[in-house]
Structure 1
Amino acid sequence: MGKKFEILKSELYDEISNVKSIRDMPSNFSKEFLKLVTMVNFMLIEDKDNFYGYFLLQMSREVKYDISSPTAVNFKLSRYVIYFNPYIFLNLTAEQMKSSIKHEIYHILSFHLKRARGLKTKYSTLAINMAMDIVVNQYLEYLPPFSITIDSINSKYRLNLKQYMGMEYYAKEIQKALNLLEEDDENQEDDSKDKHIEKEYDASKTHDLWEESIEVDEETLENFTQKYALLSEKGKVPLYLEGILKGLSSEKGEIPWNLYLKKIMGTLESDKKKTVARRSRRQPNRLDLRGELRGHTARITLAIDVSGSISDEEFKGAIKEVFNIVKTYKHEITLIECDTKIRQVYKVKSINSVRERCTSRGGTKFTPVFKYVNSTDTNILIYFTDGKGEEKLEVLPKGYKTLWVISGRGDKLSLKEPFGIIKKLKPVEIIEDTEERLDVMVDGFSANSHEPIY
């Protein structure tokens, strides 16, 4: 791909090097340019840390000539969009192009778009832009020559900024320096250049595009970002991103599998019970047949593998989350403890009615649970396990939905045909044992060098 990439890059640069107006742009230029972006995308996917490549794969891509940086992002129409200014982007090496894309994705994961809006009343646009870029560029290699770095800002403004701090800290310190120098960061119009094409980097305008982002509520933006991030974790994640991704998955103490449980709780077919107060709808003239009323009871079975694969903290946190989700529904919850066989079965009405777990005999088999549940009127089976059991069930599930929740210390489910949805349970640490909420420890740092999570 290297030779093809360099040829296409050179051809594209030659095509527009003398074009001074968008209306004179070659008709197929955008299409060919986006082919180059696709090549860069594959380079990112082939990298050892391929998280950024899979993240970019989900984003919309557009060419935009009036941005004053090689790349820019915003959020519109329920998705993230990344924009490219070919005049600046084509001047970069392949490695610098990858870094420019990583730069924008890091802004997204750090919620800089949202946080920057909160600082607008305190600091200038220039201070905020440089602060955000300092945060991001500390983690990237092969930066373009015009990049804002902590060293360049310390040198230019005679500052002594600390490394790995939050954008709020950098914005405050940079604004102090700007005030002392009385530096004007207002955008100056230059009548000598084309107003529709930006050909040079300008720090004061690098994030102007964010103003065009559609205003969305904080929860929606977080949910979309979390979804993009989860779908991008297909390979090795860079160490410096682990803290951010941990913060995303632990937002508000939610465990990722709960999103699926919430969804299926709303789609369960309601119970029906016989009643003499209503005639049969199919045969209304048969007075000897009883009609039906909906009972709206969700019957949930929780199976917990007690072979030592799931910690007490993980299980208690998960149980609390289940009760929090089902509290608005009429429900019955049955708890099964099992390893190679079922050890105990009992009804639970609240977190306080959960008994001490049995002592395990070691080993795990899934089949005994399915044999038992098949004989009940369960709607949902939630099976907590490390995933290590038999490869094939001796019986098939009958008439209920199955949700496998793999322990934070587990890897994958051993069954070749799992007959259900498989989710990962993120490890949690219980800080305070209360009935009402699950507290999750999120330290906000990765390898002791990460921007704090806000």
Structure 2
Amino acid sequence: MSDSEYQFWKNDEIKPDKIVQVIGEDVIYENNTDNVDLEEIENKLTKARTQLILDKPFLGNLVLRLPMKAAGSWCRTSATDAKSFYYNPSFIEKLDNHQTKFVLIHEALHCALTHFARRGNRDKHKWDLACDFAINPLLVKEGFRPPLDVPIFSKYESMIAEEIYPMIDDSIDTEPMDQHLYDDNPKDDADESDGGMREDSLDGQKDDTSSKGQDNKPSQGNSNSGDLAEQPSPLTPDEMQELSSRWQKNLASSAQLAQQAGKLDGEFAKLVDFFLQPQLSWQSLLAQYMSTLARDDFSYARPSRRSGNAILPSLRSSQIDITVAIDTSGSITQEEINEFISEINAIKSNMRASITLIACDEKVDDNLIWRFEAWDELQFPASLGGGKGTNFNPVFDYIDEQDSPSSVLIYFTDAKGKFPQFEPNYPVMWLVKGKEPIPWGSRIQLN
């Protein structure tokens, strides 16, 4: 892994303590509570949560939903099971106030964004990393400071875990900054990560230590040992479903409180809108929208005189002209374009529609405009070109220059570009990848 791929938070004035062991890119803290005042650590966390409530009520309310529990030796940094916030006291002791807030919010967002219920059949290690990589750039952008050596991928900014997951190399050797306890059932590899360090590696270390006659449990003389939480069991499917519903309500109520206080804006406002919108597939929403444009209906228009004098309802059909624009600025993958083309083709087969397909990044090239009549099959062109910046104006300018207006424009994009100043007189539907807003038209979420 090259240094250019990572951006780390660094502070040269801070020197690592002797109890910190660096294994690759993982920072491991010994959970030695003999030398840690648990009450002082709890007060430190409580102070950070109180400040978040006052300064960032949206995040503060989410953090308050997780009871804090000092953890036993199994916890290397921090962890969550979507029910509680677990922490290594030695780890928290080394953090300053800003870093403590970062860790608290990080665990709360794993829960609020229901990462525990969204993995499906994905590889656990890569999914855990994707969830971390989705949260960390967001927090840094909002001014929060992460613990030392936490990787921040700026290229994943404004992306969700599902978008990041396929971009992570299968051979990546980094580990999540925390432990995701809600899901401890790797699908296809016993060496999958549970965060901090891989669980089987930890078990192996424990076995090796035990074989040498060393006791891993807190010593009998440790007065804090009875206060430390044991590692919880992974969630059952029923628990995941119940907690997913509960955290969606927590997200909505926290957003409402923050809005009432006038303190919900920026990336977190986009985040709330994104995750609280109806969870319907974009294919279903697109089909519903297109069906409203179909003009197959009964008509009472006066028929030809050859039909007689009676005016009876008859089924009339007229063709609609659809313009489809694809943002080729580099943020849309080949797989997504193929899926989109297939869906448009399926919808087209159910109605009389001609389609003009336009590929555009910052300009429209005449060689990147294709016309498909109602009887033609929509086929994917050999190349869509693109890869530059994003400007939506050229597509609208092209439509305005045509002899007949478009029945509807469907724009497939990440919505990161220059919009026309005024809304056109024909309907525009934006199929958006990501969380960016649109100034007008209908928006359908692609993720």
Structure 1 and Structure 2 fold alike (TM over 0.5):
no
TM-score normalised by the shorter chain: which range applies? 0.3 to 0.5
Normalised TM-score (structure 1)? 0.41
Normalised TM-score (structure 2)? 0.41
